[in-house]
Amino acid sequence: MTEEVRILAVTAASIGFFHTLLGPDHYLPFIMMARAGRWSNSKTAVVTVLCGIGHVLSSVLLGFAGIFLGTQLSRLEAFESARGEIAAWLLIVFGLVYLIWGVRRAILDKPHRHEHKHLGGVVHEHSHDHHDEHAHPHLEKGRPNYTPWILFVIFVLGPCEPLIPILIYPAARHDMGSVILIGSIFSVVTVGTMLAAVMLPLAGVKMVRLDGLERYSHALAGAIIMFSGLGIRFLGL
């Protein structure tokens, strides 16, 4: 391994780590969806890892294709930029739709009171809602939950902007083994950082009780996902 490849390897690990942490879209959607949908830790981890793999693999394969086809770097960067625009808008639309659905669900789950009459003329009433018994309305009646797949598609479309120009093409000046090594390091660090950035905060988030606001958890998840997309599109996060 040459000195330049060693430097590229360290750079790949550093970029994979900081690129993920500085992009809230890499972890906030999973944290919020897991909290609102009451996903198990295993489901959350699987969805996060699969989305992370799709996220990095799409850029890695595009970089490999560019090398084999001799595509100019500027064309690949333009294509990656277009992909990023599409992914950002999909995240915004998905978040907005989920927000609207969450608000509607919260209104339908508004607490109401029931009156009960017992023998002897004793009457009492209690407040009641349907949040717990309808925690997963999208899974009722055998209907599948498409939310993880929507997130997967969005992350596959979302590019890893620094990967091709900063890592893949410089590594290609050496040999294909160097390209595979650099791509692998970047991918493993990125997915690993995503997983840690989701699972560690999620443990604390699940302990937070929203009490009367619990029924708005889906709406809150949609709002945060939408703002994550807006941050990508207009703030370059």
pLDDT in the model for residue 75? 87
Q: What is the pLDDT of residues 182-191, one digit of tens each?
A: 999 999 999 9
Across the range 92-114, mean pLDDT stands at 82
Q: pLDDT grade, residue 105 (50/70/90)?
A: confident
Q: Is the pLDDT of residue 36 over 60?
A: yes
Q: What are the tokens at 170? A: 């410089």
pLDDT in the model for residue 122? 54
- CA dist 113 → 124, 125, 128, 201 (Å): 10, 6, 6, 36
pLDDT in the model for residue 27? 94
CB 164 within 8 A of CB 77: yes
Across the range 55-79, mean pLDDT stands at 87
Q: What is the pLDDT of residues 22-31, one digit of tens each?
A: 988 899 999 9
